[in-house]
Amino acid sequence: MARMRITTWKILLYVLLGIVLVLLVPLSPRHILTLATSIIIFSIYVSSANLLTGYTGLISLGQAMFWGSSAYMVAILTTRGIVENFYLVALMSVMAVIVISASFGALAVKVKGLYFLILTFAFGHVLWCVAMYPIQSITFGYDGIKGVVRPDLLLPWSMKNNLNFYYFVLVVAAVCFFMLHLIIRSPFGHVLVGIRDNEHRMVALGYNTFLYKYISYILSAIIAGVGGILYAYFNCYVNPSELHWLWSGDALMMMFIGGIGTFWGPVFGALVYTGLRYWVSAYTMYWFGIEGIIFILVVLFFRGGIAGSLMKIQKRLSYGGVED
Amino acid sequence: MLLFLLAAGLSLMFGLMGIVNLAHGSYFMVGAYVGLSILEATGSFLLALLAAAASGALLGFLTERFFMRRLYGLRHHEPILLTFALSLILSDFSLFLWTGTPRWVQTPSLLAFCVNIVGSPYPTYRLALILVGIIVFFVLYWFQEKTRWGAMVRAGVDDKEMATGFGINIPMVFTTVFCLGAFLAGFGGFIGAPILGVHIGLDIEIIMLALAVVIVGGIGSLPGCLATCLLLGLADTFGKVLWPDFASLTIYVILVIVLLVRPSGLFGKGR
């Protein structure tokens, strides 16, 4: 009984989420629509980090590297008129991310724990420094790249319309989340969780853990890259801070607020974090201080984040259901 | 050398407690700001220096006592995130108290002249800094290797449980080390101010360098820390001369190479 009740609840929640996303958000004022678009893009980004950190157990400070490089790819390709076709641009950006993640990943995945964190940070920082100084003529250094034009999808709807773009982002996000769902539920995903929980055991069981971690790293990079592509088109601008390691830190923050290692946690995290930042920034310039305070509260008292706390409540409720 | 003051404390904490304290740069920055305020209020460089170091130690004490203590024994990432959050708060707090204008500290008049070394002028203040760094190194080294306290710290680094078994009050040792590290950071922040200036964002710049030093040098190793500071300092300077475009990369490239080739650091114990 209890189990059935929870599944019905779940379906109801999904339907509700669908209604809000597809119908209610588009009806809301314009600034809410833009906010919602960025929240959805961030959800993709945070979920990508979650695949690596939450499910595989590798904490990375290099996620911005992939987001940033694909965003820069989009900006460079389109503003210089090298490639106009959206699908080709997206494909090339994803290819760039694959090349970068495959080459850095081969080195990074070899080290463990804290060293992985610092190594990914160092890689990210090296890339950032390269983008800022030596190849300044291409990336325009600290100025970022302006003048990205919304994509032409070769569909009847113009992406210059914010509502249409919102739906486009929603569809891409749905595809990403579906892919993530498939990855996590697959035998491959279960091996990743096994590596997170006890890598030695997985080695003993005969798994090539390096390969699994490596693939997880690349997959996570690709999804982060998709986020970067969308964001570049969304803002029509690439900000250099999107390549900086603090941007990776943001992903970790959102993930921890939302609930690490849970499927919907990153979405909650992106929602709360981005929403709060939007709301708080209107009143005070001290957003970082407030963010810090929220974060300390999460680390000290709600270690599972929002999703973790919800799951605890749900568990309590379902036990109550059994007793009925 | 400045970096050494900071990195030594960080390295000690890191080695002893397995904690990456990202708030360490904030002690540095807040120390510099406090020192600056005291200097402006009293005009005494020495008093300002003491206040800066004390503020660092106090912050370190508060961090350890109220936050870190709850997290010992947890995986690595919680302390990292917590100290990162703390550094955000301290950064905004400094922005609130001292506003965002970059400030400079006047070099104390006693040392505000240059001497000629091998034909080129060199500011005395920098020489004094190097001297201070060397003194701190020896004092720390002596403390760690020769005193009873140092032995307790080393015991804690090597085997926490065993040390506790011998009746050493590890939480007490932890607090002390944390304070000492933060003390050095605040101290470094102020004596570095005439050279680096005091501005928001200093915390992040400095913590990245210090982390690089600690990792390259080998966690918990003082000589490693000193040698790496010299190495990275030299590499950075040479980098700026030889390939100015890539200068900002030099340190991180070294960091990457060391991590890949010898993750325990140049002077670290092998795994």
For the stretch B199-251, pLDDT in tens is 777 777 777 777 777 777 777 677 777 777 777 777 777 777 777 666 677 77
- Cβ distance B215 to A256 less than 8 Å, yes or no, reads no
- Flag whether the pTM goes above 0.80: no
Tell me which of A56-65, A154-163, A283-292, B101-110 is least confident.
B101-110
Q: Would you state the structure tokens that stand for residue B49, as one six-digit string?
A: 């220096």
Amino acid at A73: M
Provide the angle, in degrees to the nearest 10, between the axes of the packed helices B148-158 and B170-196. 100
Q: Would you state the structure tokens that stand for residue A169, as one six-digit string?
A: 């982002």
What are A's interface residues with B at a Cβ cutoff of 8 A? 59, 107, 110-111, 113-115, 117-119, 122-123, 125-126, 129-130, 132-134, 246, 249, 252-253, 256, 285-289, 291-293, 295-296, 299-300, 303
Mean pLDDT value across residues A282-305: 76
pLDDT at B112: 59
* B24 compared with B270, residue with greater pLDDT: B24
Give the range of the structural domain holding residue A74, as residue numbers without chain letter.
27-245
Mean pLDDT value across residues A211-238: 88
A267 part of a folded domain:
no
CA dist B34 and B198 (Å) reads 10
| DSSP β-bridge partners for residue A238 | A145
Residues A74-120: tens digit of each pLDDT:
888 888 777 778 888 888 889 899 998 988 888 888 887 777 888 88
pLDDT > 90 fraction of chain A, expressed in percent and rounded: 3
Write the CB contacts of A128 (distance below 8 Å, at least 6 apart in sequence): A68, A240, A243, A244, A245
A234 part of a folded domain:
yes
A262 part of a folded domain:
no
**Which of B20, B84, B252 comes nearest A125 by C-beta?**
B252
| DSSP β-bridge partners for residue B115 | B122
pLDDT at B107: 66
Mean pLDDT value across residues A213-239: 88
Which residues in chain A are contacts of B204 at CB distance < 8 A? 246
> CA nearest A117 in B: which residue?
B77
- Cβ distance A115 to B211 less than 8 Å, yes or no, reads no
Residues A274-291: tens digit of each pLDDT:
888 888 877 777 777 777
Looking up tokens 């701190």, which residue turns up? B136
Whether B118 has a pLDDT exceeding 70, the answer reads no
A74 part of a folded domain:
yes
Tell me which of A167-176, A265-274, B231-240 is least confident.
B231-240
Long-range CB pairs of A296-301 (<8 Å, 24+ gap) are A296/B67, A296/B82, A296/B85, A296/B86, A296/B89, A298/A256, A298/A257, A299/A256, A299/B71, A299/B78, A299/B81, A299/B82, A299/B85, A300/B67, A300/B70, A300/B82
Domains held by chain A: number: 1
- A266 neighbors A254 (Cβ within 8 angstroms): yes
CA dist A183 and A93 (Å) reads 22
- B198 neighbors B99 (Cβ within 8 angstroms): no
Residues A120-149: tens digit of each pLDDT:
888 888 888 888 777 777 777 777 777 777
Q: How far A292 CA sits from the closest chain B CA (Å)?
A: 4
User: To which H or E segment does residue A146 belong?
Assistant: strand A145-146
- B185 neighbors B22 (Cβ within 8 angstroms): no
| Spatial CA neighbour of A223 closest among A59, A67, A32, A99 | A67
pLDDT at B73: 59
CA dist B70 and A301 (Å) reads 10
A200 part of a folded domain:
yes
A20 part of a folded domain:
no
A152 part of a folded domain:
yes
Which residues in chain A are contacts of B248 at CB distance < 8 A? 129, 132-133
Whether A189 has a pLDDT exceeding 80, the answer reads yes
pLDDT > 70 fraction of chain B, expressed in percent and rounded: 75
A15 part of a folded domain:
no
Q: Would you state the structure tokens that stand for residue A221, as one six-digit string?
A: 């990079």
